[in-house]
Chain A
Amino acid sequence: DTAVSQTPKYLVTQMGNDKSIKCEQNLGHDTMYWYKQDSKKFLKIMFSYNNKELIINETVPNRFSPKSPDKAHLNLHINSLELGDSAVYFCASSQGSTGLREQYFGPGTRLTVT
């Protein structure tokens, strides 16, 4: 009974390539997030969508473009990958953009750029 799933789990690619990570949640939540966790384990929010609408867009290079086709899916496309993009990317979801709710995280996608 997967709540928040991500594909792929591992992604190894070369500098300059373009790649996508997909996220799906079956919890009926209306808000989804992308986080980046670097090698020091810092968790930094990148984007948040509520009902397919972008509500948080932190200072992220415009090579990163999120896309939410519906409220159960939030994908992340990365253009012109750089070495510094290597990290674990977590998708998360919560019920309601307000109301201070628990976030449910996906299993993460470990991206390695060589």
Chain B
Amino acid sequence: GENVEQHPSTLSVQEGDSAVIKCTYSDSASNYFPWYKQELGKRPQLIIDIRSNVGEKKDQRIAVTLNKTAKHFSLHITETQPEDSAVYFCAASKDSGGYQKVTFGTGTKLQVIP
């Protein structure tokens, strides 16, 4: 089955600095890569996603890059703010036997220090 590794497990940055979270996946058939943000005590929520026919996608301060050959993808947050503090999950997904199966990474706890 799919295996998604995520690094680092914790990340502290000063407000205004950039944060980068990296993930690797094992199944070359995976073709959809969402990123979820989970604030303390809240539900995971999608913040950005990328499909395998795209190498990079940007939404304001958030960008995601995908390298299909190397089977890795990354989340970049620029000009970090205290409200960016949360746990971030990467995920890899593919159609499997007629249904979508999503495998999540182990999460990165991001702390933005004011």
Residues of A within 8 A of B (CB): 31, 40-45, 48, 50, 55-56, 90, 94, 96-103, 105-108
Contact = CB atoms under 8 A, between A and B. Distances in A.
B100 A41 contact: no
Given A105-B44, A106-B43, A97 B51 contact: no
Contacts of A103: 34, 46, 102
Given A56-B101, A100-B51, A105 B43 contact: yes
A90 B51 CA distance: 25
Interface string B90-114: 0001110011111110110100000
A43 B99 contact: no
Contacts, number: 60
A96 B31 CA distance: 16
Among the interface residues B31, B38, B93, B94, which one has the most CB atoms of the partner chain A within 10 A?
Answer: B38
B5 interface: no
A55 B93 CA distance: 15
B99 A97 contact: yes
Interface string B39-71: 000111110010100000000000000000000
17 contacts: A41-B107, A42-B106, A43-B44, A43-B89, A43-B104, A45-B101, A45-B102, A48-B101, A50-B99, A55-B99, A90-B43, A97-B98, A98-B95, A103-B34, A105-B45, A106-B43, A108-B43
